[in-house]
Amino acid sequence: MSQNYDIYLSYNEAMVNQGFNIRVFLHRTKSMHKIIIVLLSEIDTHFTDALRQNIEKTFNHPVEVRSKINSLEYAYDPIRDQYKSPFLLSRLKRVKRSPGDKIMGVADVDLYSPGYDFVYGEADVNAGVATLSINRLITGEQDIPSNLNLYIDRIIREATHEIGHLYGLVHCSDQKCVMRTCTCVPEVDAAGGGLCNTCMENLNNNL
């Protein structure tokens, strides 16, 4: 069973309006699949605990957190001193055991995708795989404890955004909705309304 969606084939969150709007087929999976959060770097357990709880609640599917901390050297670009998000997506596809599972890899390194200065994350909708970088969401590395809740909020929003794409959600014009496009941290901080009613309705139709 499949359904048509007008959707961006690949979502690069650092830049918007690139305009490659492509009609693709999303296969709706009603089975009891999992959302697997793959830790590609050492991530503070406050962040991973909050991610697990919030993602499970929002998407109403079991969330499993796996550690897969290996060198990310294969994705490193020495010229830009950044890591290539599409390379991470390719590796993450191999983690998938069940076709319905949604995979999101979380890294603390700065990610980019060709044509973009950086990305907070990227979603390959057809593959059901996404990346998330917390690098630019943590704006005061020396002072995580006093900004913990702020960082948790940002990370949950960006994670919800990427996983939202994996469930067929598209970008939203509501500036408080997590499905808005964010090109800088103030925009992430403004997206404090969770999923707006329209996006929530779309999600419920797609779950």
Q: Does 177 bind Zn ion (CB under 5 A)?
A: yes
Q: Does 179 bind Zn ion (CB under 5 A)?
A: yes
Q: How far is Cα 23 from Cα 126, in angstroms, rounded to an integer?
A: 12
Q: Does 196 bind Zn ion (CB under 5 A)?
A: yes
Classify residue 31 by burial, with Cβ atoms within 10 Å: 0-12, 13-18, 19+: exposed
Q: How far is the CB of 198 from Zn ion (least distance, A)?
A: 5
Question: DSSP E strands: which ranges in 14-99?
Answer: 21-27, 35-39, 63-67, 76-77, 82-84
Nearer to Zn ion, 49 or 187 (CB): 187
Q: Does 199 bind Zn ion (CB under 5 A)?
A: yes
Q: How far is Cα 90 from Cα 74, in angstroms, rounded to an integer?
A: 11
Residue pointed to by tokens 């009891």 = 32
Q: x-or-dash pattern for Zn ion, window 8-47, by CB under 5 A?
A: ---x------------------------------------
For the question of residue 56 being annotated catalytic, the response is no
Q: How far is the CB of 63 from Zn ion (least distance, A)?
A: 20
**Pair 81, 135: CB distance under 8 Å:** no
Residue type, 173: S
Residues 116-175 that bind Zn ion (CB under 5 A): 172, 174
Nearer to Zn ion, 11 or 118 (CB): 11
Catalytic annotation, residues: 162
Residues in contact with Zn ion by the rule CB under 5 A: 11, 172, 174, 177, 179, 196, 199
